[in-house]
Amino acid sequence: MPRFFVPKKNIQGERVDVSGQELEHMRKVLRLRPGDRVTLFDDQGWEHEGIIQSYTDRTGEVEILKSYQPGRESSLKVTLAQGLSKGEKMDWVVEKATELGVQTLVPFLSSHTVPRPDSKNIEGRQARWKKIALSAAKQSGRTQIPEILDVSDFGDLVRRPWPCELKLLFWEKESMQNLTQIREVKPHLNSLLLVIGPEGGFSSDEASEAMRHGFQSIRLGKRIMRTETAALTALSIAQFLWGDMG
């Protein structure tokens, strides 16, 4: 069945009001009609099977037939900080990271970010990332849409007091430590911050600043990956070692 997101506040008993872009998708894109069955998910981790009752100009009314908590979210709360990259690569990272269970995405600018977008460009891209995250959450059966924070500078990123048990900076010049070694020291984790650099990686000064603020530098292997490949590789390995994959 088609899946749609509704805020919990729009659910009153067994009645749900669907509005905004989800209503447009339901009525105009998929052309669903009263009597069609749909699946809804809210921002509290619940999924609801329902049937479309009626439409008005601004809302679609759905009657809930059954509600449950499917438990598809990973026990590992992963924050992925991703250096901005060219073109549509960031869009791809947002989509695939959502499918892989990321909880929070933090786009950031660093010394090797090229080109450096202006504020208007960033606002437009951020709105697009939120739509992509919603679409990917619906497609993958998730009941949580990743939070996408405002674009930050690298210095602000590493100085921020993140509520994570472990903060990892993936740096191509790290020659020793990898995720398997971290797993031996920390066999159990509930929360994790992964920081992936832009095309061009991090400067030595940036890596040093991160480590002064409690980050550990990590390598992914002997080969240098593109930024979007590194992000999804790191996230997949983390979910395998501490999360719900494998």
Q: Which domains does the chain have, with CATH numbers?
A: 3-68 (2.40.240.20), 77-242 (3.40.1280.10)
Q: Which residues pair with 168 in a beta bridge?
A: 194, 216
pLDDT more than 90, % of the chain: 82
Find all residues with CB under 8 Å of 186, minimum gap 6, and list them.
Answer: 165, 166
Which pLDDT score is estimated for 48? 97
Answer left, alpha or beta for residue 154, where phi above 0 means left and psi between -120 and 50 means alpha: alpha
User: Is the per-residue pLDDT at 241 higher than 80?
Assistant: yes
- Other Cβ atoms less than 10 A from the Cβ of 172: the count is 18
CA pair distance 65, 12, nearest whole angstrom? 13
Q: Which residue has the tokens 């995250």?
A: 133
Task: Please tell me the least confidently modeled range out of 55-64, 156-165, 221-230.
Answer: 221-230
Sign (positive or negative) of CA dihedral 44, 49, 54, 58: positive
Helices 89-99, 119-140: inter-axial angle, 10-degree rounding: 30
Judged against a pLDDT cut of 90, whether residue 13 lies above it is answered with: yes
Give the number of other CB atoms < 10 A from CB of residue 100: 20
With bands split at pLDDT 50, 70 and 90, how would you rate the model's confidence at 118?
confident
Tokens 């993140």 belong to which residue?
A: 162
Say if residue 95's pLDDT is above 90. yes
Calculate the alpha carbon distances from 175 to 110, 205, 220 in Å. Answer: 22, 17, 10
Average pLDDT score, the chain? 93
pLDDT of residue 60: 96
Q: Measuring CA to CA, how many Å separate 59 from each of 11, 19, 27, 65?
A: 13, 5, 10, 19
Tens digits of residue pLDDT in 139-196: 999 999 999 999 999 999 999 999 999 999 999 888 788 999 999 999 999 999 999 9
Q: Give the per-residue pLDDT at 119.
A: 75
Torsions phi, psi for 175 (to 5 deg): -110, -10
Full-model pTM: 0.90
* E strand segments, the chain: 3-5, 11-12, 15-18, 37-41, 47-55, 60-68, 77-83, 104-109, 147-148, 152-153, 166-170, 191-196, 216-218
Mean pLDDT (whole number) for 103-107? 97
pLDDT at position 231 over 90 = yes
Whether the CB-CB separation of 191 and 163 falls below 8 Å is answered with yes
